[in-house]
Structure 1
Amino acid sequence: MEPANDDEILETRLVQVRGQVQGIGYREACVRQAQAVGITGWVRNRMDGSVEVMLQGSPEQLDNMCAWLSEGMSAALVDELEVAELQPPFARFDRFERLPTL
């Protein structure tokens, strides 16, 4: 799937994933899934043991990715998914990448 083009509605969401999501390849799987769905943004581990994900795409793409974040990786035990929609203006991402731990 391709990233949202300029004519589509573009949304940005910041997602905090809590549970057993570090040390199991969750970020790498997240990158693969985001690229498959056509999402741009980034993913990183946080020092508190959670994973933080910035997602940008169409509402449908973001809904699909949030569903995957909560249930898509069998090795992960997600306890909580906290989703915040960011209001424009926001930077436009051109790819999805893994960032260093914050």
Structure 2
Amino acid sequence: MPPVARHLMILGRVQGVFYRNWTVDAARGLGLTGWVRNRMDGSVEALVQGDADMIDRFVTLAQDGPPAANVARIDATDVPVEALNGFEKKPTA
């Protein structure tokens, strides 16, 4: 099955609670590639790529995130797959 990619906007109490670090660990654990970063508006943005089932599993896990997070919602959009290796944190945008 070819890889798929989703752009995620994660809203709620997701900054200052180690959400990005949690995202990197969770994504890598599921074999996903992509990136995560904080947004100036207080949200977290991520691009996740890989097996569709693993992305669905990631989004389900991301609804909870780390213990101190309080995710209000995740907006997911299918996007074209990019040539990426690994999963990294990017600077705030």
TM-score normalized by the length of structure 2: 0.95
Write the distance in 2 (CA, Å) between the matches of 1:91 and 1:81: 21
Structure 2: runs of 5+ lacking an equivalent = none
- Show CA shifts across 1:3-24 (max 9, x none): xxxxx32100000000000011
Question: In structure 2, what is the equivalent of residue 11 of structure 1?
Answer: 4
Aligned pair partner of 2:47 in 41, 54, 57? 54
Write the distance in 1 (CA, Å) between the matches of 2:70 and 2:7: 19
Structure 1: runs of 5+ lacking an equivalent = 1-7
Tell me which stretches of 4 or more aligned residues in structure 1 moved more than 2 Å: none
CA displacement at 1:31 relative to structure 2: 0.3
Alignment of 1:1-102 (within 5 A): 8-86=1-79, 88=80, 90-102=81-93
Write the distance in 2 (CA, Å) between the matches of 1:82 and 1:97: 20
Counterpart amino acid of 2:84? Answer: F
Write the distance in 2 (CA, Å) between the matches of 1:61 and 1:10: 10
TM-score normalized by the length of structure 1: 0.87
Write the distance in 2 (CA, Å) between the matches of 1:97 and 1:83: 19
> RMSD of the alignment, in Å?
1.0
Counterpart amino acid of 2:88? Answer: E
Equivalent residues, number: 93
Secondary structure of 2:63's aligned partner: helix
Counterpart amino acid of 1:65? Answer: F
